[in-house]
Amino acid sequence: MKRFAKRLKGLEISLITTLEPGGTRIGKDIRKILLDSRNKNLSPLTELILYAADRAQHVAEVIKPALTQGKWVICDRFFDATVVYQGIARGQDMNLIRTLNAQVTQGIQPDITFLLDCPVDMGLNRALERNEAQSQKGQDRFEREAMGFHRAVREGYLDLARKNQDRFVIVDAALPKDEVEKKIFQHIEPHLQRNR
């Protein structure tokens, strides 16, 4: 995401980068609760509500103001993550998830969503490497989940992408970083033309 944002800024695109959970001060506290491996007994409903709380604050404090100022928002995860992780993988009520997402996003939808897809074992290995590079010890609560959970997440994302082809672009994240970036930019080009 950093390389992508840097390249866009080089094209004089006014933008912000952010993430969920943790894109605000309050969100950082929520993120700690959600990812802390000691919270293994966190109920799926509590998890869902914490993500909704993080997103509500994030939209109100960061995303909506940036969009109002005409900025691009590049967000590492948004409401699709809740559909997949809490809905598909955790089995929470999809109607509740849709209702919560509609409220907390204030109707904001991504113009384009990039699904960086790779085999589950590769994704988990990359997460461990990232943790080590950032001096984080061990796995977070999600990384400790069984392989079946991670497979359900991957399949859930792929299914969501197939059902929302108008905004989803699946990118093979097993490719070298330069190739991944190139493929993303091929799909961003029409948006760049509209922005000029």
Q: Each residue of 134-156: pLDDT tens digit?
A: 666 656 788 788 889 999 999 99
Tokens 């809490």 correspond to 86
Q: Each residue of 7-16: pLDDT tens digit?
A: 888 888 999 9
Predicted local confidence at residue 131, as pLDDT: 62
Distances (CA, A) of 80 to 31, 88, 114, 159: 17, 11, 11, 11
What is the domain extent for residue 148? Answer: 2-195
Per DSSP, the three-state class of 116 is strand
pLDDT confidence tier of residue 193, bands split at 50, 70 and 90: confident
CATH number for 49: 3.40.50.300
pLDDT confidence tier of residue 106, bands split at 50, 70 and 90: very high
Q: How many CA atoms lie within 13 A of 90 on its CB side?
A: 20
The residue among 120, 115, 142 whose CA lies nearest residue 131 is 142
Distances (CA, A) of 24 to 6, 150, 159: 21, 27, 30
In the chain, the number of structural domains is 1
Q: What's the mean pLDDT in 3-7?
A: 86
Q: Work out whether the CA dihedral 57, 61, 66, 67 comes out positive or negative.
A: positive
The answer to whether the pTM exceeds 0.85 is yes
Predicted local confidence at residue 125, as pLDDT: 85
Q: What's the mean pLDDT in 51-77?
A: 98
Predicted local confidence at residue 136, as pLDDT: 62
Size of the chain in residues: 196
Q: What's the mean pLDDT in 77-105?
A: 97
